């Protein structure tokens, strides 16, 4: 396994991190959550997750901006109102193509930007915990954080002059390790690792403490 000491710290970057957050059209988002919450609420929760994720990310020290890659007009309007930049999914070729496109868009304006991909389904995200992850990620060319199940990935970063090379989806932890990215191992950053795909995931996020938009949509329905 690659460790912190296996890579040299990267050089100086443009001020602040740019985060790239991908979001499917709401009608297709979070399909595995449907059995637990119902079809009507599923899309609303997907948007609430993204809103709480983006709001927490923008409040995190070190984050300069957030670019949301989406073609959903309702999601775009809601997330733009929070301060995110909305970038159309021009490739239209899936998650990793959208993330790579977002990184290119960010660096077209700021070539020396530190860029990180962040899942849109982190409704319990805490700004301070994300800041800790970013502080470690900034020491390396590429770094990632595994999800709570230690199978997937919720965060992938690339320093200045380094390609993001996203390989999200399924067993992405193994793929990111194989690609040479450093795995970030930190205690106390559960909110950055707790993505929500299923009803069980949502229950775990509620225990951590979800953001206000997710709480407003889910807690009354959950009783």
Residues 146-197: tens digit of each pLDDT: 999 999 999 999 999 999 999 999 999 999 999 999 999 999 999 999 999 9
* Per-residue model confidence (pLDDT) at position 221: 81
Q: What percent of the chain has pLDDT over 70?
A: 93
* Per-residue model confidence (pLDDT) at position 12: 52
158-162, 206-210, 219-223: least confident range = 219-223
pLDDT band at 94, cuts 50/70/90?
very high
Q: Stretch 189-213: mean pLDDT, rounded? A: 98
In whole angstroms, how far apart are CA 120 and each of 21, 62, 81, 99, 190?
A: 6, 19, 16, 12, 15
8-12, 15-19, 59-63, 176-180: least confident range = 8-12
- Give residue 72's Cα distance to chain centre: 17
Q: How far apart are CA 75 and CA 86, in angstroms?
A: 9
Is beta strand 17-22 parallel, antiparallel or unpaired with respect to 63-69?
A: parallel
* Per-residue model confidence (pLDDT) at position 76: 98
Q: How far apart are CA 192 and CA 130, in angstroms?
A: 6
* pLDDT tens for each residue of 36-89: 999 889 999 999 999 999 999 999 999 999 999 999 999 999 999 999 999 999
* Per-residue model confidence (pLDDT) at position 1: 35
Mean pLDDT of the chain, nearest integer: 93
Q: Do the beta carbons of residue 60 and residue 131 sit within 8 Å?
A: yes
Q: The pTM is what?
A: 0.93
Q: Do the beta carbons of residue 188 and residue 129 sit within 8 Å?
A: yes
In whole angstroms, how far apart are CA 166 and each of 139, 141, 178, 179?
A: 19, 13, 12, 10
pLDDT band at 222, cuts 50/70/90?
confident
Q: Which long-range contacts (CB under 8 A, 24 or more apart) does 37-40 make?
A: 37/199, 37/202, 37/218, 37/221
Q: What percent of the chain has pLDDT over 90?
A: 90
């Amino acid at each position: 396994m690659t460790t912190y000491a296996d890579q040299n710290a990267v050089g100086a970057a443009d001020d602040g991190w740019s985060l790239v957050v991908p979001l499917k059209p709401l009608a297709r988002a979070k399909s595995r959550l449907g059995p637990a919450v119902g079809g009507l609420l599923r899309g609303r929760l997907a948007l609430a997750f993204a809103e709480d994720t983006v709001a927490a990310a923008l409040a995190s020290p070190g984050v300069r901006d957030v670019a949301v890659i989406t073609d959903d007009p309702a999601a775009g309007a809601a997330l733009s109102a929070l301060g995110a930049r909305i970038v159309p999914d021009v490739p239209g070729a899936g998650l990793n193509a959208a993330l790579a496109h977002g990184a290119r868009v960010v660096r077209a304006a700021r070539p020396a930007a530190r860029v990180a991909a962040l899942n849109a389904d982190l409704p319990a995200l805490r700004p301070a915990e994300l800041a800790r992850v970013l502080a470690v990620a900034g020491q390396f060319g590429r770094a990632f954080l595994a999800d709570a199940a230690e199978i997937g990935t919720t965060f992938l970063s690339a320093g200045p002059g380094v390609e993001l090379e996203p390989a999200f989806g399924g067993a992405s932890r193994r793929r990111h390790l194989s690609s040479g990215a450093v795995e970030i191992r930190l205690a106390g950053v559960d909110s950055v690792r707790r993505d929500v795909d299923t009803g069980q995931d949502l229950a775990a996020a509620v225990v951590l403490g979800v953001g206000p938009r997710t709480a407003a949509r889910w807690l009354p329905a959950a009783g």
